[in-house]
A and B are shown apart, each in its own frame.
Chain A
């Protein structure tokens, strides 16, 4: 298809600033204890890396203190090719996070697809981007607390070219907490029992072959892979401090440019590296 390219070709990244309410929950109340300054610092490092090292065009949506979880921008949209599906997060309060994102998508000339009315055919559907693993060839949707089958169906209807398989999310609250893409045909996945179970299901469901990069720590299972237009493989991964046992695994990727990027604050809040950005490919071909 026009829009099937090896995974990893991105030209743009969208991020959203860390709000002062960082650490609070969207529905009100406190989440895990948070260090706002550190979180903002880490976000700064990430954006700098994406912009300067990886060379992506960065679009930064200003933080909104009214939306304490809005920094998890990955949840609110699933983008493939030039189509962006605006998701319907499980938490009612988070749904307004999408507004700013929607605007950016339109500016980027992406085809914006909505999940539809609350009452319509997709009533009850919930979907969060961090439960969606797009491998470049197919989608895996983790059925979790945040994402249900109806949501996955909407995703399947939106991206009709691709197989959309549902997998149970075991050993994590979101699919991307336990796995992420580490290359065009590489899945990085945690060694936890639950993750292995999910992986087996993914292997059962797929028509394709993936190399599996198994990492000891859960936090290490979420990385950001980008292949630059210059054909350089970049892998943003948590730092040695955060995942000492997994670093040797990453170092085996000798062709890669490894970019250790701290995300401990986001991780404390249930996020990960990939939660912090939406990646877009605006250029046909790779």
Chain B
């Protein structure tokens, strides 16, 4: 995290300062106030004041200790009203503070849950309650721990995982930073984690029982004084004694299950060129890892290489060979090879003598320069069988996937050749781009020993592909209601990003002790580095999180002074809503019930922090759409754009096309937890990953057949709500865009427009890639892909300034056919989805769209959720030439039964948007309405 500090301060120094100040002022407030109103809330209040007096009245409410009552009240209201944005906000405030205030009121919450569920569907109370109360518990706990404040990030985390894959690193860090001080709050269950470090020593660390992997990882990195930490990770042994990587974004406890809290710190991504690492300490750790790999035989090498590498290790650890000091057995403590012979030791000593004068850092470099050439360097091997049942090994590495039979390489699939990676049960598949002479894509399947192994190799592939091949992690698609399989995506930085970040490391080479030599590490120029770094790096370590803590409100602060519109942005930002996925799944289960949810704040800034997987691909695409905009003026103009998407989902029947529903209903509580909290649950049987080219940040997640096991469950568990077989999903989307410019050609533009960003990172683009990728997303209508598989809005109609309809296209599409093919293999009642999308599109300023794309400066996603709506606001800031543009895209999903007056909701949403951003013009409104009908209804 410390490396990020550098980046961030560079990018925006001012905001941070402002923020810090603000934070300080906020702090006392919070601590004194038991209910701990959120920082964001304060912003909200401030910014809202101008605009929404009623809200101000409401804002005190959150502090009142009668959450249950409030919630009930809201529920009552919102049940009958379309989701006003204001309403949402206030609700969210209430919710949030409620959860904060409620502290340990589990009972109350449960009661609440019951009340909610029982209103309409008493029969399902239990399941729903379980599911619902769980996320809330988490929230409460986190609240306690943090004594509140950056709020959204913490609150949404457990939930976000479900919808969005991986929360952003920064948020994590915030949480982590906050966790620390309040760790001791009562009711916190602490667990002692033992981490085996690369030098064999043990690091012990107390972590809160529900802490995420990242917390522990950062603690370890802090302990090690490591800044270039993206190459490393923590691993643990699962019950089958298989090494598993600890997902930083998920709770440790959920990952290790019943295993020990015992971890190993190790290299996950072996840098192909270690000389490009910035710090000696990073290289040292990599050396330690490689020495381990070599000694264990994981990295095979010849006698000569064993001897040479061993001699460099000796030089690094012991310094120059000393005839006095170094007797024959001075190397007895070192292991250079799996089977170390006297002969080898002699050779090592002989070579050691020849390294006289080499500093430890130089010796490490020499070690790495030789080790990196080994053919198995950085290759992660997995046992598998090919389609003929022959034992093979899958080797995942920086360049792609290698197939070995015994020690022989029998095939190799470089990342550019791979279109898609997926797994299903214990099978692992890759789809291969057709060669020059071939016409069709081919798929290669491998059989792994079990489902977990298949998933493990899939994950490792996804991670390696992202880390080494992409310049920035792709954004997982935000799945709406058709969700299958893991949405797992690599959430960390890519190699390109970490290299970028490393260039900003500005600290004296840190002092570190080599295990046996205790010699002071020297930087390459030989200048001894004394303890300066000790305190310094501590400072960095502590600073990092603190600074990032502010990132939540940072943007808000910056923008507030500049433009009025921005205040409303911040206001939205401040809105704190729970995640949509939870609501959705609940709705699925509950049929037509509408639930009041907590509001959470999520403000993210992918550009400044590391990868931002939680932005769904739509966000990515939207933001990139902005890039090509040109205002044609020489001055710097801020253009704000906003998009409102309203989606209404009405569900009468718990059977949804998404199999996860079935699991939610039918499986054991544990599984339920996984489903609701993490998209990456072990219960998933399959997942796909579309390998992206570096130039396309656009990804499609396909839905595959539902595993039969789950079908059975579904049938079995068909809930009693069959009485209402009609399933309706209606959604409307409003997009407002600045009339000044915006390209309308959706995805193709989007894909291309990411290019400059990446090109600026110096990443080489593979020109062969895009066609095939595009081929994956066939129908492009006004920037939206009409494809059920992609879980995008099937049809979109666009218009310009909302009330003024310039263009109108109404399409009613029946996506049933598509769905049918998707689900056909399961013997489950098929659900029809009727999709109606209306787009009102403003007259476009032609010529702007194909303008040169700019550089994406910032992008944030705010998700808020209330009663029956989910609002996702994406704020994208791009820099093009000298012009800075801000675009706001708002997506509102209304989920509910057919009682909702969609027109009114739409009108209101547009009105809200205009009110909030008077300076901006609404450029596009997309209404997407989806109705689902159970097949038996037809």
The reply to whether B303 and A111 contact each other, CB–CB distance below 8 Å, is yes
Provide the B363-378 mask, 1 if CB < 8 A to any CB of A, else 0.
0000000100111000
The reply to whether B375 and A205 contact each other, CB–CB distance below 8 Å, is no
The reply to whether A161 and B302 contact each other, CB–CB distance below 8 Å, is yes
Looking at chain A's contact residues, is the secondary structure mostly helix, strand, loop, or mixed? Answer: mixed
Give CA–CA (A81, B307) in the complex, Å.
14
The reply to whether B412 and A205 contact each other, CB–CB distance below 8 Å, is yes
- Whether B829 sits at the interface, judged by CB under 8 Å, is no
The reply to whether B412 and A1 contact each other, CB–CB distance below 8 Å, is no
Closest beta carbon of chain B to A27's beta carbon, Å: 29
The stretch of A16-24, A151-159, A234-242, A269-277 that contacts the partner chain: A151-159
Closest beta carbon of chain A to B288's beta carbon, Å: 19
Known A1-B305, A205-B412, A207-B399; contact A163-B370, beta-carbon cutoff 8 A: no
Known A138-B375, A161-B373, A204-B412; contact A1-B407, beta-carbon cutoff 8 A: no
The reply to whether A161 and B411 contact each other, CB–CB distance below 8 Å, is no
- Whether A230 sits at the interface, judged by CB under 8 Å, is no
- Whether A49 sits at the interface, judged by CB under 8 Å, is no
Closest beta carbon of chain A to B923's beta carbon, Å: 48
Known A1-B374, A156-B406, A162-B375; contact A204-B411, beta-carbon cutoff 8 A: yes
A245-268 CB contacts (< 8 Å) to partner B: none
Known A138-B375, A205-B412; contact A149-B301, beta-carbon cutoff 8 A: no
- Whether A83 sits at the interface, judged by CB under 8 Å, is yes
- Whether B308 sits at the interface, judged by CB under 8 Å, is yes
The reply to whether A164 and B302 contact each other, CB–CB distance below 8 Å, is no
The reply to whether A152 and B301 contact each other, CB–CB distance below 8 Å, is no
Provide the residues of chain B in CB contact with A156, threshold 8 Å: 406-408
The reply to whether A1 and B409 contact each other, CB–CB distance below 8 Å, is no
Q: Smallest CB-CB separation from B369: which chain A residue? A: A1
Provide the residues of chain B in CB contact with A111, threshold 8 Å: 303
Give CA–CA (A82, B347) in the complex, Å.
14
Known A1-B308, A2-B308, A2-B370; contact A159-B408, beta-carbon cutoff 8 A: no
Known A161-B373, A161-B374, A163-B375; contact A1-B301, beta-carbon cutoff 8 A: yes
Give CA–CA (A241, B793) in the complex, Å.
70
The reply to whether B411 and A205 contact each other, CB–CB distance below 8 Å, is yes
B203-231 CB contacts (< 8 Å) to partner A: none
Provide the residues of chain B in CB contact with A207, threshold 8 Å: 399, 412
Provide the residues of chain A in CB contact with B408, threshold 8 Å: 141, 149, 152-153, 156, 164-166
The reply to whether A205 and B407 contact each other, CB–CB distance below 8 Å, is no
Q: Smallest CB-CB separation from A165: which chain B residue? A: B409
Provide the residues of chain A in CB contact with B409, threshold 8 Å: 163-166, 205
Give CA–CA (A160, B300) in the complex, Å.
6
Q: Smallest CB-CB separation from B406: which chain A residue? A: A153
Closest beta carbon of chain A to B435's beta carbon, Å: 8
Provide the B401-437 mask, 1 if CB < 8 A to any CB of A, else 0.
0000111111110000000000000000000000000
- A2, A141, A206 interface centre (most CB from chain B within 10 Å): A2
Give CA–CA (A81, B412) in the complex, Å.
26
- Whether B304 sits at the interface, judged by CB under 8 Å, is yes
Q: Smallest CB-CB separation from A150: which chain B residue? A: B406
Give CA–CA (A4, B303) in the complex, Å.
13
- Whether A33 sits at the interface, judged by CB under 8 Å, is no
Give CA–CA (A111, B343) in the complex, Å.
12
- Whether A3 sits at the interface, judged by CB under 8 Å, is yes
Closest beta carbon of chain B to A82's beta carbon, Å: 7
Give CA–CA (A138, B300) in the complex, Å.
14
- B305, B373, B408, B411 interface centre (most CB from chain A within 10 Å): B408
Provide the residues of chain A in CB contact with B407, threshold 8 Å: 153, 156-157, 160, 164
Q: Smallest CB-CB separation from A204: which chain B residue? A: B412
Provide the residues of chain B in CB contact with A204, threshold 8 Å: 411-412
Known A1-B370, A207-B399; contact A81-B304, beta-carbon cutoff 8 A: yes
The reply to whether B301 and A160 contact each other, CB–CB distance below 8 Å, is yes
Provide the A80-94 mask, 1 if CB < 8 A to any CB of B, else 0.
011100000000000
The reply to whether A149 and B405 contact each other, CB–CB distance below 8 Å, is yes
Give CA–CA (A1, B367) in the complex, Å.
9
Provide the residues of chain A in CB contact with B373, threshold 8 Å: 1, 4, 161
Provide the B240-279 mask, 1 if CB < 8 A to any CB of A, else 0.
0000000000000000000000000000000000000000
Provide the residues of chain A in CB contact with B308, threshold 8 Å: 1-2
Provide the residues of chain A in CB contact with B412, threshold 8 Å: 165, 204-207
Provide the residues of chain B in CB contact with A83, threshold 8 Å: 302-304
The reply to whether A161 and B301 contact each other, CB–CB distance below 8 Å, is yes
Q: Smallest CB-CB separation from A140: which chain B residue? A: B409
A186-234 CB contacts (< 8 Å) to partner B: 204-207
Q: Smallest CB-CB separation from B300: which chain A residue? A: A160
The reply to whether A2 and B304 contact each other, CB–CB distance below 8 Å, is yes
Provide the residues of chain B in CB contact with A161, threshold 8 Å: 301-302, 304-305, 373-375
Give CA–CA (A165, B407) in the complex, Å.
9
Give CA–CA (A1, B303) in the complex, Å.
11
Provide the A3-16 mask, 1 if CB < 8 A to any CB of B, else 0.
11000000000000
Give CA–CA (A164, B302) in the complex, Å.
13
Provide the B88-121 mask, 1 if CB < 8 A to any CB of A, else 0.
0000000000000000000000000000000000
Give CA–CA (A139, B375) in the complex, Å.
11
Closest beta carbon of chain B to A95's beta carbon, Å: 23
Q: Which 10 A-B pairs have the closest CB atoms?
A: A163-B375, A156-B407, A160-B300, A165-B409, A2-B308, A1-B305, A2-B304, A161-B302, A153-B406, A205-B412
Other A-B contacts than A3-B302, A157-B407, A162-B375, 12 sampled, CB-CB below 8 A, are: A1-B373, A83-B304, A111-B303, A149-B406, A149-B408, A156-B407, A160-B305, A161-B302, A161-B374, A163-B409, A166-B408, A207-B399
**Using a CB–CB distance below 8 Å, which chain B residues touch chain A?**
300-305, 307-308, 370, 373-375, 399, 405-412
Q: 6 A-B contacts, Cβ less than 8 Å apart?
A: A1-B305, A2-B308, A4-B373, A157-B407, A166-B408, A206-B412
